[in-house]
Amino acid sequence: MPRQLGDLEDAVMTRVWQWNRPVTVREVLEDLQQERSIAYTTVMTVMDNLHQKGWVRREVDGRAYRYTAVSTRAAYAAALMNEAWSKSDNPAAALVAFFGMMSPEQRRSLEDAVRMARADRPEGDGAEDGPGEEGAREGPPGEDRPGERQAEGADGTAEAGR
C-alpha cells in the first residue's frame, strides 16, 4: 500500500502531475523557489528518492535526468482512500461517516463516478462485490502488482500533511 507523500515530495509530485511531461530538477526547483527558499541539491535528492520509491521514472537527457510520473494523482488519492477504508475495523461505518462529511456537490460527483464505473463494467464481472476488487483500478507505486517497486522508505519524508 502507498505511503502518503511528505510535504516536499507532494510539492514536487504536484508539479510533475500538473505539467504532465518529462521535467528536470532545474524546472521543478525554479517553480518551487517562487514559494520557498530551497537548494538544488534538496530537490535533486527528493526526486531521486521519488524515483527509488517508484513514483517517477527517469531518463537521461544530456547531463540531466528527465522525470515522468508513473501514475496519476487520481490513482494516488484513490489508493490512499482505499488504504484508509480497508484499515477500518468497520469499513461500512467508515464509509457512512465519510459520506456524511461530504458536501452535496461532492456527493453528486461521487454518485456520477459510481454510475460511470458501473457503466464501464461488463455484466457478470463481479461488479456487485463493491470496493476493494483487485486489478480493477490503476494504482500508484507501492501497490502489490507484479514488476513494480514498493513505495517504502525510512527517510522520514512520508509524513502526513498537505
pLDDT in tens, 104-154: 999 999 999 999 999 888 766 554 444 444 433 444 555 443 333 333 333
Pair 65, 90 in one domain: no
- Determine the residue type at 88: S
In this structure, of 2-6, 16-20, 138-142, the range with the lowest mean pLDDT score is 138-142
Q: Which residue is listed with cell 459520506?
A: 99
Q: What's the pLDDT score for residue 126? A: 53
| Residue 1 covered by a domain | no
Domain count for the chain? 2
Pair 24, 54 in one domain: yes
Rounded to whole angstroms, the Cα distance separating 122 from 136 reads 12
| Residue 140 covered by a domain | no
Most confident option among 24-28, 86-90, 143-147: 24-28
What DSSP designation does 129 have? G
Rounded to whole angstroms, the Cα distance separating 152 from 134 reads 20
Query: End-to-end distance of the chain based on CA atoms, in angstroms?
Result: 19
The cell for 67 is 522525470
Q: Using an 8 Å Cβ cutoff, are 157 and 49 in contact?
A: yes
Q: Using an 8 Å Cβ cutoff, are 157 and 46 in contact?
A: yes
| Residue 45 covered by a domain | yes
Strand spans (E) along 5-160: 56-61, 64-69
What is the span of the domain harbouring residue 46?
7-69
Pair 106, 83 in one domain: yes
Pair 49, 12 in one domain: yes
Rounded to whole angstroms, the Cα distance separating 3 from 24 reads 24
Q: Using an 8 Å Cβ cutoff, are 117 and 58 in contact?
A: no
Asked whether the whole model's pTM tops 0.75, one would answer no
| Residue 125 covered by a domain | yes
